[in-house]
Chain A
């Protein structure tokens, strides 16, 4: 039998973790990336990576609580078994990265230091200076280089993945890709294709993401028939530095290390910020969320900052919306050790020292929770059956998705420092499953497929490419179309969403999409033509843009990052205890009703006319029943009381039934109310 091969598309954390693990399992890998893998977007991650550790454990932390924070933070929209497995692997993943040489910060005694990130009460985040993503990526890059030297990995850097190749049975047998230097289009044979192509922030024009985060690879899989799920869940980071070309992130760790968010109580107070006395500062997060303070989960911080500037008119500047993120009360020396890298970014790009002057920041599109739909196989203990070929597999057999481009781990909202974990985890866990798939293929390997399958696919893309180059002037400019797309998406589908605006945006995006076919290229050559490559990726932003907008339009509720004021559930205001209780019960009824209706993943399928067909998939919440997120809601205590009483009743009823049948009480679910 011919040797089997696997293609990995993308050399971010997810792609590199998968490559390295596959190579260890003896599998040959072709690793493909738009940029040299060491330059992948993962290098931008600053803050850190989450997992339970020996210290938090003694403070009462467990993998189960990390799991709980993740699903609670995600508003219960993710299947629970993969999340449970991920949080259980957390400590082992950090240990592994530690062994690979990641220079994690150390305590005086030589242990790994930890910090606290949003959405949890424990110091669960390991970090390497302020460049954790870079450090993690480099150590994986180094391991992959080692396998490259050993001949197990072949890199195709500066290559653009164009499409998966499916056989007549719909099984993925390889892919078509294009060399960005020579413009050669080639068909690759593979027994599995694993896509780890990252997020799709560029659909929003400017975001915190890198320029390769176009979503093009995921979109091309979607157009080939792969399902795309929960597209409408786009995380907007509360704190970014607004810039002309990019919205540069100010990591959550700035708040984790004690950074305080405030605005002057007097709108656009002209005094320099440090001359504004404490009493005239409005620390609005601390005042409204005393328990979490500046570390409220991202969606809440974002909305509050957005509202303070827009609705309440308290923006620091009138033209450019911004609030202060203040570190100036922390000693310089500590800032340099803990946050050096990110403070340098601010200083470098703004020309101001954030150790002396509070930073100005505003929310920006940051992370795609949604992505390619992937499968998993649940184990008896409620986690994953590691080694199952179904794990991370899309609905196209043989086509896998990992990292930010899958939809699996973060539900409606991702917790800070959980993405680096999910990227490495999904990369590591996909490998044994793929290995088993290869074993089960026996004679059906890609090497034995007819040459015509590949030649035809290549020919198709070659022709489409030539057609693009030859198209005579429709007069549209791809770069300007991209700006327009970004503008429409940012306005309608970020922090606050309204149906009329979403509907309008959908129509505009369809109109822009029809214009993309009339783009005139300013470069029609066949050597390192970045113009045509950009135009192709722009073309592929539209299908996902439509998925995002349509998903958002149809979802008439508020969940995590998806916030529609018209469907929000205000808190409970009554004065009388009895009335309050009654209102709280009504609130809980409504919550349960909404859960029945909307605790479902949106699953989009591409149709021939380009219209996404949306279906809804139930979420596996078998480990932890959904409960309301009450952060900062008026009357939260009384709602919580009512909710707990309900949960206790249900548990009692369930236990009654269970003991009646003589079976043991439910395992982890027994912790639910805790």
Chain B
């Protein structure tokens, strides 16, 4: 069949790696969908939710997944699509079918604990932002006039880094970012679990996204005022030294954030900081 002169199959299959809950085994399941114009992976998952049935016709529960903006700007819907880490909402079915015209494969991200199906727990990613103090330490929210004047060049340096949507692609692709998972203990409250989780995360690698945020805030004229605190975090356990400079991160960032440039700048900052600390002893 064809649409606007482009050939397409009448139907195609989605193969999903499902998992009912944490610590449960995972399993593959196939869903057959009719082709339509302008489909992306999120709209496929919506269609599966409306008719949750396997290719063999067995009724199943809808596939759990995350989404919100559908414009690749909120970072919710990251998953592995045909093995590549990316956003479901911007993964166009027609493009995917160019590679393999019969089947599309979906898996949850592998570096984060699965909650259910394609939905994973990415709290570690946000914890890293707390750790590196990714904010401008303003005095308060009363009126104190405008912020510092900045050249357009500075703005154009900060703006790309500030577009990080915490999607986690860079972490999924990073060989040094290994999966950390705490298992739920009998009778434990959610809050207690979150506490143990945080302690574990603090030992793990921060990840490229957080390193890049350090550079963003250390560049800003006000953020710079406590640059040392952020640089120090990069020198702690799980900091910059874990990065093996594999550069996978920058290749997969959907926002084209110059992560390896940030990592390079972070390297120089930690070196300078180490020297200064040595002299200050």
CB-CB contacts of A163-207 with B at 8 A, as 1s and 0s? 000000000000000010110100000000000000000000000
Does A329 touch B at the CB level, under 8 Å?
no
From A246, A479, A530, B71 is in contact (CB under 8 Å) with A246
- A24–B141 CB distance below 8 A: yes
- B141–A531 CB distance below 8 A: no
Known: A35-B76, A479-B46. A527 touches B152 (CB 8 A): no
Known: A43-B73, A106-B150, A345-B71. A530 touches B62 (CB 8 A): yes
- B134–A145 CB distance below 8 A: yes
Does B25 touch A at the CB level, under 8 Å?
no
Which residues of the partner chain A approach B61 to less than 8 Å between Cβ atoms?
Answer: 522-523, 525, 529, 531
Query: How many positions in chain A have a CB within 8 Å of any CB in the partner chain?
Result: 71
- B49–A95 CB distance below 8 A: no
- CA–CA, A474 and B73, complex, Å: 38
- CA–CA, A41 and B73, complex, Å: 9
From B62, B64, B143, A95 is in contact (CB under 8 Å) with B143
Known: A101-B136, A181-B115, A245-B42. A210 touches B20 (CB 8 A): no
Residue of B nearest to A144 (CB): B135
Which residues of the partner chain B approach A106 to less than 8 Å between Cβ atoms?
Answer: 150-152, 154-155
From B40, B126, B145, B150, A38 is in contact (CB under 8 Å) with B126
Which residues of the partner chain A approach B133 to less than 8 Å between Cβ atoms?
Answer: 146
CB-CB contacts of A594-637 with B at 8 A, as 1s and 0s? 00000000000000000000000000000000000000000000
Which residues of the partner chain B approach A225 to less than 8 Å between Cβ atoms?
Answer: none
Residue of A nearest to B63 (CB): A530
- B147–A99 CB distance below 8 A: yes
- B69–A43 CB distance below 8 A: yes
Known: A134-B165, A528-B119. A41 touches B150 (CB 8 A): no
- CA–CA, A101 and B151, complex, Å: 14
Which residues of the partner chain B approach A134 to less than 8 Å between Cβ atoms?
Answer: 73, 163, 165
CB-CB contacts of B135-168 with A at 8 A, as 1s and 0s? 1111011011111011110110011001101100
Does A499 touch B at the CB level, under 8 Å?
no
Does A435 touch B at the CB level, under 8 Å?
no
- CA–CA, A20 and B147, complex, Å: 18
Does B36 touch A at the CB level, under 8 Å?
yes
- A142–B134 CB distance below 8 A: yes
From A20, A39, A245, B141 is in contact (CB under 8 Å) with A20
- B21–A527 CB distance below 8 A: yes
Classify the secondary structure of B's interface with A: loop
- B130–A145 CB distance below 8 A: yes
- CA–CA, A530 and B118, complex, Å: 12
Which residues of the partner chain B approach A21 to less than 8 Å between Cβ atoms?
Answer: 141
CB-CB contacts of B116-138 with A at 8 A, as 1s and 0s? 10010010001001100111111
CB-CB contacts of A119-140 with B at 8 A, as 1s and 0s? 0000000001101001100110
Which residues of the partner chain B approach A56 to less than 8 Å between Cβ atoms?
Answer: none
Does A351 touch B at the CB level, under 8 Å?
yes
From A43, A92, A111, A530, B143 is in contact (CB under 8 Å) with A92
From A101, A348, A528, B217 is in contact (CB under 8 Å) with A101
Q: Closest approach, in angstroms, between the C-beta of A571 and any C-beta of chain B?
A: 40
Does A328 touch B at the CB level, under 8 Å?
no
- CA–CA, A631 and B208, complex, Å: 52
Does A149 touch B at the CB level, under 8 Å?
yes
Does B186 touch A at the CB level, under 8 Å?
no
- CA–CA, A531 and B151, complex, Å: 50
- B64–A528 CB distance below 8 A: yes
CB-CB contacts of A87-131 with B at 8 A, as 1s and 0s? 000001011101111011111111110000000000000001101
- A244–B37 CB distance below 8 A: yes
Q: How many A-B residue pairs have CB under 8 A?
A: 189
- CA–CA, A11 and B18, complex, Å: 30
- B92–A105 CB distance below 8 A: no
Q: Closest approach, in angstroms, between the C-beta of B207 and any C-beta of chain A?
A: 15
Does A480 touch B at the CB level, under 8 Å?
yes
Known: A129-B159, A245-B40. A145 touches B135 (CB 8 A): yes
Taking each of A101, A248, A525, which has the highest tally of chain B beta carbons within 10 Å of its own beta carbon? A101
Known: A96-B143, A145-B134. A179 touches B190 (CB 8 A): yes
Which residues of the partner chain A approach B136 to less than 8 Å between Cβ atoms?
Answer: 99-101, 139, 142
Does A477 touch B at the CB level, under 8 Å?
yes
Interface residues of A in 32-79 (CB under 8 A from B): 35-36, 38-41, 43-44
Does A243 touch B at the CB level, under 8 Å?
yes
Does A423 touch B at the CB level, under 8 Å?
no
Does B243 touch A at the CB level, under 8 Å?
no
- CA–CA, A205 and B249, complex, Å: 36
- CA–CA, A98 and B145, complex, Å: 9
Known: A110-B149, A146-B135, A530-B49. A101 touches B69 (CB 8 A): no
Taking each of B36, B42, B67, which has the highest tally of chain A beta carbons within 10 Å of its own beta carbon? B67
Known: A92-B143, A530-B64. A244 touches B38 (CB 8 A): yes
- B67–A95 CB distance below 8 A: no
Known: A41-B69, A104-B155. A531 touches B62 (CB 8 A): yes
CB-CB contacts of B8-29 with A at 8 A, as 1s and 0s? 0000000000001100000000
Does A211 touch B at the CB level, under 8 Å?
yes
- A99–B135 CB distance below 8 A: no
Which residues of the partner chain A approach B138 to less than 8 Å between Cβ atoms?
Answer: 99-100, 143
- B40–A479 CB distance below 8 A: no
Known: A181-B115, A522-B52. A111 touches B46 (CB 8 A): no
Does B59 touch A at the CB level, under 8 Å?
yes
From B50, B126, B220, A477 is in contact (CB under 8 Å) with B50
- CA–CA, A214 and B112, complex, Å: 28
Which residues of the partner chain A approach B43 to less than 8 Å between Cβ atoms?
Answer: 244-245
Does B235 touch A at the CB level, under 8 Å?
no
Does A428 touch B at the CB level, under 8 Å?
yes
Known: A106-B151, A146-B135, A528-B116. A101 touches B129 (CB 8 A): no
- A142–B135 CB distance below 8 A: yes
From A104, A149, A210, A531, B49 is in contact (CB under 8 Å) with A531
Which residues of the partner chain A approach B135 to less than 8 Å between Cβ atoms?
Answer: 101, 142-143, 145-146
Does B108 touch A at the CB level, under 8 Å?
no
Q: Closest approach, in angstroms, between the C-beta of A337 and any C-beta of chain B?
A: 8
- A96–B74 CB distance below 8 A: no
Interface residues of B in 58-93 (CB under 8 A from A): 59-62, 64-76, 89-90, 92
From B59, B144, B222, A522 is in contact (CB under 8 Å) with B59
Which residues of the partner chain A approach B62 to less than 8 Å between Cβ atoms?
Answer: 522-523, 530-531
Interface residues of A in 477-533 (CB under 8 A from B): 477, 479-480, 522-523, 525, 527-531
Q: Closest approach, in angstroms, between the C-beta of A411 and any C-beta of chain B?
A: 27
Does B96 touch A at the CB level, under 8 Å?
no
Taking each of B69, B90, B223, which has the highest tally of chain A beta carbons within 10 Å of its own beta carbon? B69
- B115–A39 CB distance below 8 A: no
Which residues of the partner chain B approach A523 to less than 8 Å between Cβ atoms?
Answer: 52, 61-62
Does B39 touch A at the CB level, under 8 Å?
yes
- A351–B92 CB distance below 8 A: yes
Does A286 touch B at the CB level, under 8 Å?
no
Which residues of the partner chain B approach A477 to less than 8 Å between Cβ atoms?
Answer: 50
Residue of A nearest to B143 (CB): A92
- CA–CA, A134 and B155, complex, Å: 15
Residue of B nearest to A479 (CB): B50
A-B residue pairs, 9 tightest by C-beta: A98-B147, A142-B135, A479-B50, A523-B61, A245-B43, A110-B149, A39-B74, A528-B116, A99-B147
Q: A101-B135, A522-B60, A523-B61 are in contact. List 14 more A-B contacts (CB 8 A).
A: A35-B68, A35-B74, A39-B166, A41-B68, A44-B74, A142-B134, A210-B70, A244-B39, A245-B40, A245-B46, A345-B72, A480-B50, A522-B62, A528-B116
8 A–B contacts, CB within 8 A, in A order: A103-B162, A107-B152, A112-B146, A129-B163, A149-B130, A245-B89, A527-B20, A530-B49
| Residues of chain A having any CB pair with chain B under 8 Å | 20-21, 24, 35-36, 38-41, 43-44, 92, 94-96, 98-101, 103-112, 128-129, 131, 134-135, 138-139, 142-143, 145-146, 148-149, 179, 181-182, 184, 210-212, 243-246, 248, 345, 348-349, 351, 428, 477, 479-480, 522-523, 525, 527-531, 534
